[in-house]
Amino acid sequence: MQYDEKRLTRIVATDCGSTTTKAILIEWVDGEFRQTIRGEAPTTVEAPLNDVTKGVINATSEMEELARLKYNNPNIKFMENGEFIIPRKGDIGIDAYVSTSSAGGGLQMMVTGVVASMTGESAERAALGAGAIVMDLISSNDKRMNHEKIERIRQLRPDMILMAGGEDGGTVKHVVEMAELVAAADPKPRLGASYKLPVIFAGNKDAQEEIRKTLGSKVELIITDNIRPKLEQENLGPARDKIHDLFMEHVMQQAPGYNKLMEWAKGPDLESVPIMPTPAAVGNIMQTIAKDENIEVVGVDIGGATTDIFSVFTEEYIFNRTVSANLGLSYSISNVLASAGLPNIMRWVPFDIDESELRNMIKNKMIRPTTIPSLLEELVLEQAIAKEALRLAFEQHKEFASGLKGMQRQRDISEAFSQSTSGASIVNLMSLNLIVGSGGVLSHAPRRNQTVMMLIDSFLPEGITRLAVDSIFMMPHLGVLSEISSKAATEVFRKDCMVYLGTCVAPVGKGKIGKPALYAKLELPDGSKFEEEIPFGEVRLIPCEAGTVAKATLRALGGLILDKEKSKELIVDLHGGKVGIVLDTRGRRPFALPTEKTERIAALKKWMREFKVYPEQILV
């Protein structure tokens, strides 16, 4: 059911994250939907309170207080006796309450398939697309012994299992064998022993009867359409929908306080609005942007515990999501150090620091995840770690976001020479139009220039790419809001959520430091001009306001190229933004930093000054 401003004038949306519950107020003001007030409070899904709604009440009361101040009206009230008042009557109440949740570790799933890189991967894609964390993929060919697989299934305690395997009409043996292993493990759900573990079977339809016999009495078995009915066809929708249904019916019911939260979440006609897993809501929004604007998009949400990457590529709008479960900036910060290694973090730091001091700082952030860098040096270090977390998460995403593997394809002669294979990554940085960043370190960076530099250094965009950031991290809220009003969600998204930072122009190819790399002539909207032949190894930042464009003539020099057609010269409009237009001649494929320490620090300082990312005191 969709509503417009006649029924929706004041909406509360919350996102119950693993640490913080973030609430936003959306109102119909002066003929448009706007996000007006936000509040936040610690999430209360854990002991001692064990009730997620307490955090929601705290965040909402903060908004109530701020609303009374903003409108200078002491009568404004959203809740009464600890519950939302719906519908709104004058100053009292709201018209709808919606929420997403990733508290308590979000939705944790295990998936199985017959061949890991085919049905296994399809199952993984369905689970990730539904907003889950995939704890493990178990397949017939994953090289573990059967008893090891049984032990693993027993230890994992997922919220649910998704089983795939076999094309329709194909062999049933392997998929039934997998069901036998699951039955032998007799897996128990993570939350509460009072219900049976939900298991979704989305494999060969001929195996359904055998699967029922093997698993029917041990688990809550749900059978749905095959996720991979043919090798060359993937059908993720039905399995994804079942995951969402089960998330509401089983998993959320078990989490402390969620019964009440689910009752609260309702629209103006008091019909309930399902609580959505946070990443599923963000995925909704990313796909909407890509389709509305007909562009290719990469989105990232870097949190304390995990980093999610979303992408929409090719003309069929193929959507992929990956979650790097142990790359994040608080709980998982120490794992970024372990995965990236100290030298990779230090390469982004423009000063020297003792290893032991840095290691202890990182561990202290891990054990006290809610602290904020108040010293400049600590901010620089956290942003260096963020660059590595983003880089690693994007690498994982590129590997995962691929065409279907195992298909036979007819190739033309050019493909044969280019060695392209089935299952190659569909992430193409040269054709990518937009990168959207979100999550604390990107959304709340003290200077937006820092966000720009973090996105460029970690994603290494190629050619011409626009950059944006979620202003205060409200994409999850808008993703779930679109379920009852896509009008409100889209309006707020455009006006209050997306902050366009600018455009990055990065010619691709190798070059020599100091040799000419890019000739750029920009006519800026204020009438001023920028013209320079920029040497290789430099960056330039040209201010150009959001909502305006610069008319640009770009010429790549010294064998570099500007787009996927390998153009050397382009006459284009470059979009401005809060930060401006970045001309980056540091090279791509490869992008390399000087290896010698003093040279590297000197280069970093030069770029950081140009980007205006930090105050001068840290760069002297």
Name which of 514 and 615 has its Cβ closer to another protein: 615
493 with 299: CB under 8 angstroms? Answer: no
Q: Which helix H or strand E contains 571, and what residues bound it?
A: strand 569-575
Name which of 23 and 557 has its Cβ closer to another protein: 23
Name which of 46 and 136 has its Cβ closer to another protein: 46
Q: Which helix H or strand E contains 343, and what residues bound it?
A: helix 342-346
Q: Does 332 bind another protein (CB under 8 A)?
A: yes
Name which of 228 and 448 has its Cβ closer to another protein: 448
Q: Which of 606, 616, 290 is nearest to 468 (CA)?
A: 290
Ordered DSSP codes for 522-560:
EE-TTS-EEEEEEETT-EEEE---TT-EEEEEEEE-TT-
Name which of 102 and 320 has its Cβ closer to another protein: 102
Minimum separation from the CB atom of position 321 to another protein (A):
20
Q: Does 74 bind another protein (CB under 8 A)?
A: no
Q: Which two tokens stand for residue 262?
A: 């689910």
Kindly provide the residue ranges of all beta strands, DSSP E only, lying in 338-401, ordered along the sequence. none
Give the range of 441-449, 471-479, 490-498, 503-511 binding another protein by CB under 8 A.
Answer: 441-449
Q: Which two tokens stand for residue 405?
A: 């593997």
Give the range of 264-272, 277-285, 331-339, 517-525 binding another protein by CB under 8 A.
Answer: 331-339
Residue 155 CB-half CA count within 13 A: 8
Instruction: For 148-175, give one letter per residue: b (16+ CB within 10 A) or e.
Output: ebbebbeebebbbbbbbbbbeebebebb
Alpha carbons 172 and 142: distance in angstroms, whole number: 18
Name which of 367 and 602 has its Cβ closer to another protein: 367
Minimum separation from the CB atom of position 320 to another protein (A):
25
Residue 486, Cα to own-chain centre: how many angstroms? 20
Q: Helix, strand, or coil here: 97?
A: strand
One symbol per residue from 377 to 406: x for binding another protein (CB under 8 A), - otherwise; what is it? Answer: -xx---------------------------
One symbol per residue from 131 to 170: x for binding another protein (CB under 8 A), - otherwise; what is it? Answer: ---------------xx--xx-------------------
Name which of 65 and 263 has its Cβ closer to another protein: 65
Q: Which of 475, 296, 319 is nearest to 397 (CA)?
A: 319
> 201 CB contacts (<8 Å, ≥6 apart)?
163, 179, 207, 208, 211, 215, 221, 222, 223, 224
Name which of 24 and 172 has its Cβ closer to another protein: 172
Q: Does 376 bind another protein (CB under 8 A)?
A: yes
Q: Which of 135, 176, 265, 384 binds another protein (CB under 8 A)?
A: 176
Q: Does 172 bind another protein (CB under 8 A)?
A: yes
Name which of 298 and 613 has its Cβ closer to another protein: 613
Name which of 8 and 181 has its Cβ closer to another protein: 181
Alpha carbons 45 and 21: distance in angstroms, whole number: 10
Name which of 352 and 355 has its Cβ closer to another protein: 355
Touching another protein, residues 517-536 (CB under 8 A):
none
Alpha carbons 142 and 295: distance in angstroms, whole number: 37
Alpha carbons 561 and 266: distance in angstroms, whole number: 53
Minimum separation from the CB atom of position 99 to another protein (A):
18
Q: Does 85 bind another protein (CB under 8 A)?
A: no
Name which of 374 and 410 has its Cβ closer to another protein: 374
Q: Could you give the residue ranges of the DSSP H alpha helices within 199-236?
A: 208-215
Q: Which two tokens stand for residue 390?
A: 């983003």
Give the range of 36-44, 402-410, 506-514, 579-587 binding another protein by CB under 8 A.
Answer: 36-44
Minimum separation from the CB atom of position 61 to another protein (A):
10
Minimum separation from the CB atom of position 596 to another protein (A):
26
Ordered DSSP codes for 579-615:
SEEEEE-S-BSS----SSHHHHHHHHHHHHHHHT-S-
Q: Which helix H or strand E contains 38, and what residues bound it?
A: strand 32-42
Q: Does 360 bind another protein (CB under 8 A)?
A: yes
Q: Which of 280, 349, 366, 504 binds another protein (CB under 8 A)?
A: 366
Name which of 82 and 237 has its Cβ closer to another protein: 82
Alpha carbons 344 and 593: distance in angstroms, whole number: 11
Give the range of 6-14, 242-250, 444-452, 527-535 binding another protein by CB under 8 A.
Answer: 444-452
Give the range of 283-291, 357-365, 452-460, 534-542 binding another protein by CB under 8 A.
Answer: 357-365
Touching another protein, residues 87-106 (CB under 8 A):
104-105
Q: Which residues pair with 555 in a beta bridge?
A: 519, 569
Name which of 47 and 592 has its Cβ closer to another protein: 47
Q: Does 451 bind another protein (CB under 8 A)?
A: no
Q: Which of 232, 357, 395, 569 binds another protein (CB under 8 A)?
A: 357
Would you call 75 exposed, middle or buried from its count of C-beta atoms within 10 A (0-12, 13-18, 19+)?
Answer: exposed
Q: Does 70 bind another protein (CB under 8 A)?
A: no
Touching another protein, residues 581-620 (CB under 8 A):
615
Minimum separation from the CB atom of position 4 to another protein (A):
34
Touching another protein, residues 195-234 (CB under 8 A):
210, 214
Alpha carbons 419 and 31: distance in angstroms, whole number: 56
Touching another protein, residues 284-323 (CB under 8 A):
305
Minimum separation from the CB atom of position 211 to another protein (A):
10
Size of the site for another protein (CB under 8 A): 64
503 with 581: CB under 8 angstroms? Answer: yes
Kindly provide the residue ranges of all beta strands, DSSP E only, lying in 70-122, ordered along the sequence. 79-80, 83-84, 96-101, 107-113
Minimum separation from the CB atom of position 194 to another protein (A):
12
Handedness of CA 280, 138, 186, 163 (dihedral sign): positive
Binding interface with another protein (CB under 8 A): 18, 41-42, 44, 46-49, 58, 65, 104-105, 146-147, 150-151, 172-173, 176-177, 180-181, 183-186, 210, 214, 305, 326, 331-332, 334-335, 337-339, 355-357, 359-376, 378-379, 444, 446-447, 615
